[in-house]
């Protein structure tokens, strides 16, 4: 349970890992356009690694609420040059995509992880990762699709539904011969859920982990639910609540946090780890 098998790395999840976000897009909800060119995106990759990112997650298509699909050729033009260069940085490289064609292209380059907000439900997606028998996989729960998910969010209690969905997707992969050790799960904070439901998922993380039987990745960074409770409208102003949410997610069992603010999250988790270490020492004395 504490190891994530990826193409080039067996990632030890015995300590929380920080995944740094690299959006090679003009329209991502928080930093769209800031790293839109290959040169700017690569500089951002290097900065995040220097700040302590354990994993980089590169994406060429925004999945913010209301976003429209990006043509395949455009997504490939955005992503492939950055992935090619980022593979030299010595950390696992994840690619955030739902397109099987992009999955195949980046895995053929040597990418370590496919991070799919659609949980490999599109035709050909499972085949794409099955062709690379060691690549890591992140399966996320999304209600509906980006263009409509917040117009008609989920109803009712979500923890059981999300946990059952993710467990079912793992079973689907295993039936195709894909080892569960390659998989982590993401409950999909903000993807078709209300503010209360998102915080319900945080409160119920351990139940979701038990249901799916795999480590959990939490993606709270700069999300609108944080803005709603903190009274901060601009995504770029949500660094402090994002870091708090990352620590709370780890405290409740998350193994990986996907963040924009790597340096601050790494520092906060160092404080959390120091406390945990001291508590462990006191228990043994």
Residues annotated as part of the active site? 223, 258
Closest CA to 166 of 104, 215, 96, 102: 215
Q: Which residues pair with 21 in a beta bridge?
A: 57
| Long-range contacts of the stretch 224-231 (C-beta < 8 A, 24+) | 224/29, 224/65, 224/190, 224/195, 225/189, 225/190, 225/195, 225/198, 225/199, 228/195, 229/195, 229/199
Q: What is the dihedral of CA 186, 187, 190, 194, to 10 degrees?
A: 180
Q: What's 198-231 look like in SS3?
A: HHHHHHCHHHHHHHHCCCEEECCCCCHHHHHHHC
Rounded to 5 degrees, what are φ and ψ at 213?
75, 20
Residues 6+ apart with CB under 8 A from 199: 225, 229
Residue 42, both tokens: 């690569």
195-203 vs 159-175: helix axis angle to the nearest 10? 70
């Amino acid at each position: 349970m504490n190891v994530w098998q990826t193409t080039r790395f067996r990632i030890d999840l015995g300590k929380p890992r920080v995944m740094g976000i690299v959006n090679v897009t003009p329209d991502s909800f928080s930093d769209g356009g800031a790293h839109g060119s290959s040169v700017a995106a690569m500089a951002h990759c290097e900065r995040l690694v220097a700040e302590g990112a354990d994993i980089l997650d590169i994406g060429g298509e925004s999945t913010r609420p209301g976003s429209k699909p990006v043509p395949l050729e455009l997504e490939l033009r955005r992503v492939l040059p950055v992935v090619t260069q980022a593979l030299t940085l010595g950390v696992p490289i994840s690619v955030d995509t739902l397109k099987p064609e992009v999955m195949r292209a980046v895995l053929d380059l040597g990418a370590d992880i496919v991070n799919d907000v659609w949980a490999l439900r599109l035709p050909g997606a499972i085949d794409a990762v099955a062709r690379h028998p060691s690549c890591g996989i992140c399966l996320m729960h999304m209600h509906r699709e980006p263009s409509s998910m917040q117009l008609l969010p989920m109803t009712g209690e979500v923890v059981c539904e999300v946990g059952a969905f993710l467990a079912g997707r793992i079973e689907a992969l295993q039936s195709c011969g894909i080892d569960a050790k390659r998989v982590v799960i993401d409950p999909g904070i903000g993807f078709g859920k209300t503010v209360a439901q998102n915080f319900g998922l945080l409160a119920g993380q351990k139940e979701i982990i038990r249901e799916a039987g795999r480590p959990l990745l939490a993606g709270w960074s700069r999300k609108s639910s944080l803005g709603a409770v903190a009274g901060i409208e601009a995504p770029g102003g949500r660094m402090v609540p994002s870091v708090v949410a990352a620590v709370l997610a780890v405290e409740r069992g998350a193994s990986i946090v996907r963040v924009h603010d790597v340096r601050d999250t790494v520092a906060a988790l160092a404080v959390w780890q120091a406390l945990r270490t001291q508590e462990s020492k006191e228990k043994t004395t």
